[in-house]
Structure 1
């Protein structure tokens, strides 16, 4: 059992309560990541997520915006928010990721739970707390960790209720502290060019349903098309065109899962000029049609 800045941590330890078929779901993942397994593109999922960085630094993309993280920073992500972590080259980075789902009417207290989840919907849902505040938050997580290590934990009929109760206390503490966050998005290693490219990617995420092209974005950001094309690929590993398509398809996936809208309407709302184009790009990225994607409930 390792202690990282007062947070109990054990590599590959996990705590699982129910599964995604159950509206009350928890998955605590104590593990490491490195640059070799950085995701290619941003992803989303149907549950809430908390990332607590236990390494000196990393970066996180949220809807195309780049945020620099330091040890102890907490990233709070609502369902269907496009994001990915970017870990540095070299030694693996420790982190705790908590995935969870709460039914809207859990215990008949919908208003209370919606209040608990407010920090996930802040404009910048990244929190950096004082050492004293972190220690109080870690103490509550450590109670969950130690409870999960008890010999009779898995056999207990109370484990679901106890984990949930302790986690609600943890969420309430974040809510109490959230306006005292001292997070500042500063990264001395980010070049002005990289920052500009992330401005472009953020714009794509905010305007994916509009007519976008390399020439339009170059004019919008006062860059030459050649320069934008070259630098965007260098920073994001995607061409501008591919990035636009990936962003549109990710939003289409979300709508296919969460709505009953006609697929042709989804194609238009995500910025595609024709259904045939949408269908072709969707199949290329997902290796199945939009109809099959919806049918399989991905």
Structure 2
């Protein structure tokens, strides 16, 4: 089973399939056709599609780097929906068509102007995308999304625990500490967590730590030993061993490969 992932750029997903579940930092959200999921950099997530349903979606990834301080406040505003506590949006048909119309004009223009070397073409694309982001920002208070969960009490408890892991992975957490925290026996927690999430609980903790470490390795110049400690590993040797097992390479080589590929 695929684990959740994260990346150093903004991501926007528009669901085209009838239904899906989107996991954000271990918490499941049921989404329907036309819903928009906004993901800020470093947010761990993944989509889960129901059996027999197509995994259709539109994904737009983009980076934002501050080049002009004069526009910093404006960008902070129009990107603020990505930092909502619940960054999923559902709009009326009329409002949704406003957004889709802008995207359609972008796609048509991109298809007709396949070479982006022309500064005027690039200017149009950037300006149109800014219009899309502003329109989304302008509509944010008209969000109709509600998370219509239909989970059993056991599933809700396990997802509560997975969300806790994502928020506390840097701390000393284990099967025993979590069983005490959530008032369940270790054997029950181990069995039900695997049943609900598909992952052994200890592996889930370590994968969450490794994914966050991978992000920091490629997005910062922090010392690897600092990343190891702040991602919750008991020792640097433990970090190296688990990182090699998960990523198939050492943390140092992982960082170096990322630097080489980005040149």
TM-score category of the 2 structures, normalised to the smaller one: over 0.9
Higher strand share: 1
Among 97, 105, 115, which residue is 1:154 paired with?
A: 115
* Separation (CA, whole Å) in 2 of partners of 1:82 and 1:156: 34
Question: What's 1:167 paired with?
Answer: 129
Question: What's 1:118 paired with?
Answer: 80
* Separation (CA, whole Å) in 1 of partners of 2:55 and 2:61: 19
CA distance 1:216–1:155, shift in 2 (3 Å): closer
- Deviating more after overlay: 252-261 vs 90-99: 252-261
* Separation (CA, whole Å) in 2 of partners of 1:250 and 1:127: 26
| Contact 1:153-1:159 within 8 A present in 2 as well | no
* Separation (CA, whole Å) in 1 of partners of 2:80 and 2:21: 23
Residue 98 (1) aligns with residue 82 (2): no
| Contact 2:8-2:219 within 8 A present in 1 as well | no
Residue 199 (1) aligns with residue 148 (2): no
CA RMSD of aligned residues (A): 1.7
Q: TM-score, normalised by structure 2?
A: 0.92
Question: What's 2:147 paired with?
Answer: 185
Question: What's 1:214 paired with?
Answer: 175
Structure having greater relative contact order (Cα 8 Å, sep ≥ 6): 2
- Shift in Å, 1:43: 0.6
- Shift in Å, 1:191: 2.4
Higher helix share: 2
Question: What's 1:297 paired with?
Answer: 258
Question: Would you say how many aligned residue pairs link Structure 1 and Structure 2?
Answer: 258
* Separation (CA, whole Å) in 2 of partners of 1:155 and 1:280: 44
- In structure 2, list runs of 5 or more residues that go unmatched: none
- Aligned partner of residue 85 in structure 1, secondary structure: strand
- In structure 1, list runs of 5 or more residues that go unmatched: 1-38
Question: What's 2:242 paired with?
Answer: 281
| Contact 2:99-2:135 within 8 A present in 1 as well | yes
- Shift in Å, 1:175: 0.4
CA distance 1:96–1:264, shift in 2 (3 Å): same
* Separation (CA, whole Å) in 2 of partners of 1:233 and 1:276: 27
* Separation (CA, whole Å) in 2 of partners of 1:191 and 1:297: 42
* Separation (CA, whole Å) in 2 of partners of 1:156 and 1:250: 35
Among 47, 51, 62, which residue is 2:9 paired with?
A: 47
Question: What's 1:145 paired with?
Answer: 107
Q: TM-score, normalised by structure 1?
A: 0.82
Question: What's 1:254 paired with?
Answer: 215
